[in-house]
Structure 1
Amino acid sequence: MVEQTAERSEGRGASVIVNVVDVLRCFTVAEPLQGVTEIAAHVGLHKSSVSRILATLEHEQIVERDEPTRKYRLGLGLIAVAGPLLANLDVRRLAMDELTALSEATGETAALNIWDGGAAVTVEQIPSKRQVKHTSAMGSRYNTGWSASVQVFLAHRGAGRVRGLIDDGRVRFDGPVDMDAYLQRLDNVRRDGYAVNHGETSDEEVGVAAPVRDHRGEVVAAVLIAAPYYRVATEDLPSLADACRQAGHRIGLRLGALPD
């Protein structure tokens, strides 16, 4: 009887944690302000449950109230939680000089992404100095299969794993995709050492990404160049890809990767 009670309590605790995480994931770069009604509809909880979760998160400064709209947004308390993680990401710290050099050499935004199991997450960025540029907020998640950084991470996972991520919706496409052709594309990415998104996720953006390997030879990050589509012709892609690939290689050497 005691064991059953403990199991039920543990199950309820796990459920509460999942609900809190689901609520937090409603806040995105595109929709930073969320109301109780919108969140409740999105996560499938009663509004009273969402209100209780938000009240607790507000008390801990994880979310804060936007007074003009009476909606919520993520609060500064979240930085305190994520700060130790970001500070301890060696790859992020070691990549800064190379990202700065890459941005200066290409004139475009250079970023570093890591893989969280279902998306490429931006953890560092050096914006282009040009007036017109492409940037993303820290912590932005990309899970479309055409994203250059997503291609890099998937290219170094088995075909079965890639199929699984696509089948369960963690990696997405706007429409039908030829799986065999996509897997062949990933093979090419792995062979060539870089991936390209030439207006495939947005007709206004180009992305070029290359892997970063650690001392084990594992891909632990991706270096990304992001640029406006109008500024990058097809013939410019090889030079951008080479610059990106070299930057990823140099960051890897700092992580202990073996020289080629």
Structure 2
Amino acid sequence: MSNSKSVTPTRTKERGLERAFLILDYLCTTSEPQRPIDIATGMGAPKSSIYELVGLLTAAGLLERTDAEGRVFLGRRLHYWGLNYLKNFDITRLARPVLEWITDQTRETSQLCMLDRDKYFVSMMNEGSRPFRISAAVGERTPIPWTASGRLLLGHLSTEKILALIPPEDFTRPHGGRIDPQKYAESVHAAWNEKFFSFDSIADNFTHCFAAPVLDAEGICQSTVCIIAPKQDAMASYAHYRATLVQAGKELSRLLSSPDSEIQGLAAE
């Protein structure tokens, strides 16, 4: 009996902390201020605990009220934390000149892409130099199977772990139809063997997406470099785009292992 009493308060605090993080994540995903009651409804959480946690997060500066109706959104303290994170996170500092080089070589929009748990997102983007530019929403979380990068970011996982990670609903295409989970896992491993993947985007009918891995010291793909190009140009310049992207991925991998070194492996073909 005494043992259960000592464990229960700790577990309650853990759940409260977890729910506080989920509130921040929920607001980040919705990308707009919301009232506590709307947050509770959207999260399917008890209203009383959400009101209490929103109050605590607001008092701590992690949330800020945005209007007289009590709507809240991510606070400036998170921005301060983010700035300090960027100062010490090598890949964002090192990736910018690499993305600029990709665009210089191809004229296309280049990206640095990563995973946030079971979703894909664009971390950084360098817009193409075309008169009509193709871009994507930086930071927007997207189902992994919809992306070229996902095949590489999951490449080190077994089929069982891939299928356990991806929510079943994420195998539904954005415009209807189903992606076969088993065939998807097979395509992940094939892409990992190639250390490259490209396909016609399933999010629109006009673009082709290229992705190459950026490897950490253990050889795991923690991020990718990507190109988004109009289909016709992608096919006409396929070999050049692929070679450019693979070279850029290898160079960024090298820089991450030696962050004080200069960019040296990138040269125009």
- TM-score using structure 2 length: 0.80
The aligned residue for residue 244 of structure 1 is 245
What is the 5 A alignment of 1:188-199?
A: 188-199=190-201
Q: Kindly tell me: are residues 6 and 232 of structure 1, through their superposed partners in 2, closer, same or farther at Cα, counting changes over 3 Å?
A: farther
Residue 173 of structure 1 aligns with an amino acid whose one-letter code is T
Q: 1:207 aligns to what? A: 209
- Is it true that 1:184 corresponds to 2:183 in the alignment? no
The DSSP-based 3-state class of the residue aligned with 1:124 is strand
Whether contact under 8 Å (1:109, 1:135) holds in the other structure is no
For the residue of structure 2 that corresponds to 1:85, the secondary structure is helix
- Hey, what does 1:60 align to over in structure 2? 60
Once the 2 structures are TM-superposed, how far is the Cα of residue 249 of structure 1 from its aligned partner? 0.9
Q: Secondary structure at the match of 1:110?
A: strand
Which residue pairs with 1:124 in the alignment?
A: 124
3-state SS of 2:122 partner: strand
In structure 2, list runs of 5 or more residues that go unmatched: 259-264
**Residue by residue, what CA displacement relative to the aligned partner does 1:81-121 show, whole Å, maximum 9, x if unpaired?**
33343333222222221111112222232221233442334
What secondary structure does 2:73 align onto?
Answer: strand
Query: Secondary structure of 2:113's partner?
Result: strand
Question: Partner of 2:262 in structure 1?
Answer: none
- Following superposition, the deviation at residue 171 of structure 1 comes to 5.4
In the alignment, the residues of structure 2 paired with residue 170 and residue 153 of structure 1 have an alpha-carbon distance, to the nearest angstrom, of: 19
Q: Does 1:4 align with 2:4?
A: yes
TM-score normalised per structure 1: 0.83
CA contact (8 A) 2:114 2:222 kept: yes
Contact 1:34 1:72 in 2 (8 A): yes
Q: How far apart, CA to CA, are the structure 1 residues paired with 2:88 and 2:171?
A: 30
Indicate the residue corresponding to 2:88 in structure 1.
88
Indicate how the Cα distance of structure 1 residues 85 and 31 shifts in structure 2: closer, same or farther if over 3 A, else same: closer
Corresponding position of 2:172: 173
The RMSD of aligned alpha carbons is 2.9
Aligned in 2, Cα 1:239/1:24: closer, same or farther, shift over 3 Å? same
Residues 60/230 of structure 1: CA separation in 2 closer, same or farther (3 Å cut): farther
How many residue pairs end up in the alignment?
A: 255
Q: In the aligned structure 1, how far is the partner of 2:207 from the partner of 2:29?
A: 17
* Paired residue secondary structure (1:155): coil
Task: Return the letter of the residue paired with 1:209.
Answer: A
Amino acid at match of 1:98: V
Give the percent of matched residue pairs that are identical in Structure 1 and Structure 2: 21
CA distance in 1, matches of 2:91, 2:240: 24
- Structure 1: distance between partners of 2:208 and 2:171: 18
Give matches, 1:25-104, under 5 Å: 25-28=25-28, 31-67=31-67, 70-104=70-104
- Secondary structure of the residue that 2:22 maps to in structure 1? helix
1:14-25 aligned at under 5 Å gives the runs: 14-25=14-25
Query: Distance in 2 between the 1:66 and 1:204 partners?
Result: 39
CA gap of 1:28–1:237, structure 2 versus 1, over 3 A, is farther
Q: Tell me the equivalent position of 1:218.
A: 220
Q: 1:37 to 1:236 in 2, by over 3 A?
A: farther
Does the CA contact (< 8 Å) of 1:196 and 1:209 recur in 2?
yes
Unaligned runs of 5+ in 1: none
2:33 match: secondary structure = coil
